Structure 1
Amino acid sequence: MQGRTAVVLGGSVAGLCTAGVLAGHFDEVIVLERDLLPADAEHRRGVPQSKHPHFLLNSGRRAIGEIFPGFEESLIAAGGMKLMPSMDAAYCEDDGWAPRKSGSMTMVYSSRVLIERVIRDKVRAVQNIEVREGITVTGLRSHDGGTTHGRVEGVELRTAEGEEQYVAADLVVDCQGRGSSAIDWLAAAGWTAPEENTLDAKVTYTSRWYDLPPVDERPASWWWKHLVITPTQDTGDHPEEHEFLSNFFPIEGDRAIVCMGSWGIEMPRKVDTFEASVDRVRATAFGDAMRACTPTSEVHLTRSTGNKWRRFDLLDVPPIGLLTIGDSICAFNPFYAQGMSSAARSALILKEMLASGQALDLAFHEDFLARQKESLDVPWMLAMARDQAYDFATGTETVAPWRRKLVARFSWPIFNAINAASREDPYVEQSFAEVFNLDKSLKQMMRDPRFWFGIVRYRIREKLGRTVVPAGFDQRQDPPGTDWSDPANPVEHAGSTSAPTGALQ
């Protein structure tokens, strides 16, 4: 055992995963959560983003499964759906609907609230984890702040009844999210505040929840479970909704979240303007799908989407006795679905380090921060690769105008080229899936000559008319359901309205 007591600040995904890790190395683990946690999969005040779609990337899925064995099976048993996006999702790219075919990547689809409920159930089964609800953390108690001997000793708190208390701890882990006050408490105790890397691309997204129609009443063309419409690259006049990244996102209980988001555009927040915007999204199937469903919520809008990395790894003297995991240290633009998985990956790093039996001294904290930095570099680079393209973006990570123009000009075309090559080159498909799921860095992929060979070869074949999987199906029609997994023997879906060769644009 590394100590008697560990305290986790926050009972969301990051906090629960961290508690699961700590339970194997401390006599008691105390989770302090401000909200009263629901027994079932319900929204709560401390997680307003739960009303929007959440992807659990494969690296995060595996990390949570390593912390809580059986997590994926429990999530599926509770209603989560294990799907293959290339077969079960319809993607509308710049030139129209992409072809449907099998791929290497699977995902488990569910709501954020179900993911949390399943993890909470796992935590509640661990005898030495205590979750205290209705708790407001008011400060950290420490000594010798800012020196090599400085250490966080415990947590000051206030109960729901207003009683002030103190909990001594051998280790405190801050998982309070974007709004964490830990830096202020540390600064007041003598530590230097860490630098912050920031980039806010003014992303706003808006969502509404729907019940799907009964299975026997759904259109025959609904082979898909998930609809994705990417922003247009047309530089001419078009409705601003063509700039949206739009999702018809399936969740448990025969429900879906209709979500639209954009960079720098004011998004609808009322029912009438939301529905009108859905109908102006460039793929007509998106509006048709919404109207076939029954709304069950109001419209939910979120603007708190900036990227922020608090660089504890750059401190000359990090605070001993305190670690930071999740949005408390690195918050991402939610468009990229990296938050939960990045937090779980950090918790897994802590698990590996605690298993070594190393003392919780300065060397331990410096080593953890270095390894965490290496892990966070992967999603951070992906977020920067797109968000640096906008001239209205603000923060420390904005780039020179010439570089911004290059990113704006080529990021979506490169993304489309990768997707196109992936249809006929398993190596390209696997490489991109690894980057998307945070198993490989963007830098590694960009330096891979075999990857670029696959892109160039596909483009040459395309120019010569020698590609074998058709693409660019008319976005004004339903997504074609033909399965092109074997291009020599395509299998047409009974409900498809497009010819197997596609309505090429």
Structure 2
Amino acid sequence: MSSETRKFGQALIIGGSIAGLLSARVLSEHFEKVIVLERDALPAGPEARKGVPQGHHIHALLEAGLRILDDLFPGMTREMESEGVERIDMARDAAWLQSGSWKARYEGDVESILVSRPFLESKVRGRVAALPNVELREGVSVEHLVLDATNRRVVGVRVKGPEGEQELRGALVVDASGRGSRTPQWLELLGFGAVAQEQVRIDLGYTSRLYERPEGIDAWKILVINGRAPDASRSGFISNVEGHRWIVSLNGYFGDHAPTHDAGFLEFARQLPTSHLYDYIRQARPLSAPVLHKISSSRWLHYERLARMPAGLVLVGDAVCSLNPVFGQGMTVAALGAKLLGEGLARSQGTPEGPPAEMSRRFQKELGKVVGLCWMLTTTQDLAYPRAEGARKPGLKLLQWSFNNMIDLTSVDARACQRFYDVLHMRKGLEGLLDPLFARALLGYNLKSLVVPRAQRANLDTLPPHPSTPPPRPSGRLDNAA
């Protein structure tokens, strides 16, 4: 896009996270200049950094996020594949014990990539830094928002950096600073009121380390072990990543966190709901020391509910909603937020001074719909633990019962599993679970669960093999599991 077709002047992005970098790529099409303000010193290559403590741990990029990445950076995922990143079919290549039952495995079309967070962030950052109208500024902290004379529009930020304190002006300010976002405090001080928030306290800790990937492991490319709440509060993951390595993450709720020494790490793994993960890693060669990261709660800040939302400001990624990382939705929500932002700017007329005043509120409402689906899926499961602290709405126990039955159904019915993946990977919204064919199969399974013991209607024990002979791809009518 030529400079003559860009509608706005300068944009400012707080934070060089994945959310910030994807937002910068989108904004580069609509603004003459985009400045990303990052507090950290940015590494030259794929290294974890202080401002992303979760960078040492396993990350997932769901299909919706992968599609956006391919659209924004043509050829980048192919480049990563040439450097050892694997593109997988989740239905075929994931061995997944979810809530105590093994997912059906089949030849599907649910794509994802297996990559470490530092490697992916480095690739995205390199692409963004190469854009002629994007500038990455390191070692800069944003101290406050700046309003115009009407106190209704954000027109810039106060920053502190190598050149001291200064004011930067922008037609749009994007907060992509993550869980540590100071926008709630800034808006309250500026008279916009308190931002309503929902929280589910889980006191989660996940401990991760890298291993050399042993030769001859081809039964799966990612292994996931999740026990069934409320009896099991531990989970574990092994994922192939670039460099012929594994990332292994062990997770525990309510202070039950995997130790950061060798013997304790292995013992925690041994006590997972099945021994599969432990059996794979006990003879593997570690490449790094275990690192622990803690998340006290899942949190959703409802900017869309503010009585007054200042124009010229939008928030994306974890600055809006920080989800339980066990469910692997964060980077995909960040990508969807960037896509929505680009679509909103493309529709906006505005002036060189900035997008129209209503764009900020409209964007936060649209993002809220995306976040709402993820929030429902994750908190429904987390609130099955009595020790989880959060609002429990009427009908939650019935929803959890049916949700657990749905997970068990996906262990024996590939077509139902495909519908589940469609929603999980954000191909579809909740309507994917309300599809009449799927709903009929789930209703039949719910009735079956009243009279048939779980062990006789779900695969609780047998890790499904890698599909050797592709069956017909799941589509069309669902089997009635009753």
- Report the TM-score range of the alignment, normalised by the length of the smaller protein: 0.7 to 0.9
Within-5 A mapping of 1:105-184 = 105-143=110-148, 150-159=152-161, 161=162, 163-184=164-185
- Contact conserved, 1:8 with 1:173, CA < 8 A, in 2? yes
Q: Give the match's secondary structure for 1:296.
A: coil
Query: 2:45 and 2:329 mapped to 1: Cα distance?
Result: 24
- Contact conserved, 2:252 with 2:258, CA < 8 A, in 1? no
Within-5 A mapping of 1:343-358 = 343-358=334-349
Q: Quote the residue 2:65 is aligned against.
A: 60
| 1:35/1:392 CA distance change after superposition, 3 Å | same
Query: 1:122 and 1:382 mapped to 2: Cα distance?
Result: 33
Q: Which ranges in structure 1 are unaligned for 5 or more consecutive residues?
A: 236-241, 488-505
Q: Quote the residue 1:84 is aligned against.
A: 89
User: What do you get for the CA RMSD once the two structures are aligned?
Assistant: 2.8
Please state how far the C-alpha of 1:418 moved relative to its aligned partner: 2.9
- Contact conserved, 1:199 with 1:398, CA < 8 A, in 2? no
Does the alignment pair 1:311 with 2:319? no
Q: Quote the residue 1:192 is aligned against.
A: 193
Please state how far the C-alpha of 1:463 moved relative to its aligned partner: 12
- Contact conserved, 1:2 with 1:354, CA < 8 A, in 2? no
Does the alignment pair 1:417 with 2:409? yes
- Contact conserved, 2:419 with 2:432, CA < 8 A, in 1? yes
**Aligned letter for 2:408?**
N
| 1:473/1:356 CA distance change after superposition, 3 Å | closer
Query: 2:141 and 2:405 mapped to 1: Cα distance?
Result: 47
Query: 2:233 and 2:300 mapped to 1: Cα distance?
Result: 27
Q: Quote the residue 1:436 is aligned against.
A: 424
Within-5 A mapping of 1:86-485 = 86-92=91-97, 100-143=105-148, 150-159=152-161, 161=162, 163-213=164-214, 215=215, 218=216, 222-232=218-228, 243-271=233-261, 272-304=263-295, 306-359=297-350, 360-395=355-390, 397-399=391-393, 403=395, 405-406=397-398, 409-421=401-413, 423=414, 425=415, 428-442=416-430, 444-455=431-442, 472=459, 474=461, 480-481=465-466, 483=468, 485=470
Query: 1:410 and 1:453 mapped to 2: Cα distance?
Result: 13
Q: Give the match's secondary structure for 1:178.
A: helix
Q: Which ranges in structure 2 are unaligned for 5 or more consecutive residues?
A: 1-5, 473-482
- Contact conserved, 2:88 with 2:114, CA < 8 A, in 1? yes
Query: 2:84 and 2:400 mapped to 1: Cα distance?
Result: 39
Query: 1:365 and 1:42 mapped to 2: Cα distance?
Result: 34
| 1:7/1:415 CA distance change after superposition, 3 Å | same
When normalised by structure 1's length, the TM-score is 0.83
Query: 1:3 and 1:234 mapped to 2: Cα distance?
Result: 52
**Aligned letter for 1:434?**
D
Please state how far the C-alpha of 1:65 moved relative to its aligned partner: 2.4
| 1:464/1:374 CA distance change after superposition, 3 Å | closer
Query: 1:94 and 1:60 mapped to 2: Cα distance?
Result: 24
Query: 1:197 and 1:464 mapped to 2: Cα distance?
Result: 37
Query: 1:316 and 1:37 mapped to 2: Cα distance?
Result: 37
Query: 2:11 and 2:228 mapped to 1: Cα distance?
Result: 49
- Contact conserved, 2:100 with 2:226, CA < 8 A, in 1? no
| 1:96/1:429 CA distance change after superposition, 3 Å | closer
Query: 1:368 and 1:462 mapped to 2: Cα distance?
Result: 42
- Contact conserved, 1:211 with 1:293, CA < 8 A, in 2? yes
Query: 1:95 and 1:201 mapped to 2: Cα distance?
Result: 20
Query: 1:232 and 1:122 mapped to 2: Cα distance?
Result: 41
After superposition, what is the alpha-carbon deviation per residue over 1:23-51, rounded to whole angstroms, capped at 9, x for unaligned? 11111100000111112111000101111
Query: 1:376 and 1:112 mapped to 2: Cα distance?
Result: 21
Please state how far the C-alpha of 1:97 moved relative to its aligned partner: 5.3
Does the alignment pair 1:31 with 2:25? no
Please state how far the C-alpha of 1:202 moved relative to its aligned partner: 2.8
After superposition, what is the alpha-carbon deviation per residue over 1:435-494, rounded to whole angstroms, capped at 9, x for unaligned? 10122223x2343221022345678999999xxxx974855xx7644636339xxxxxxx
| 1:460/1:175 CA distance change after superposition, 3 Å | closer
Please state how far the C-alpha of 1:319 moved relative to its aligned partner: 0.8
When normalised by structure 2's length, the TM-score is 0.87
- Contact conserved, 1:388 with 1:407, CA < 8 A, in 2? no
**Aligned letter for 1:366?**
R
Query: 2:372 and 2:386 mapped to 1: Cα distance?
Result: 23
Query: 1:34 and 1:414 mapped to 2: Cα distance?
Result: 44
Please state how far the C-alpha of 1:382 moved relative to its aligned partner: 1.3
Q: Give the match's secondary structure for 2:223.
A: strand
Q: Quote the residue 2:55 is aligned against.
A: 50
Q: Give the match's secondary structure for 1:140.
A: strand
Query: 1:305 and 1:68 mapped to 2: Cα distance?
Result: 34
- Contact conserved, 1:175 with 1:325, CA < 8 A, in 2? yes
Query: 1:188 and 1:97 mapped to 2: Cα distance?
Result: 50
Query: 1:463 and 1:185 mapped to 2: Cα distance?
Result: 53
**Aligned letter for 1:319?**
P
Query: 2:184 and 2:99 mapped to 1: Cα distance?
Result: 43
| 1:388/1:166 CA distance change after superposition, 3 Å | same
- Contact conserved, 1:6 with 1:29, CA < 8 A, in 2? yes
Please state how far the C-alpha of 1:309 moved relative to its aligned partner: 1.5
- Contact conserved, 1:285 with 1:479, CA < 8 A, in 2? no
Q: Quote the residue 1:493 is aligned against.
A: none
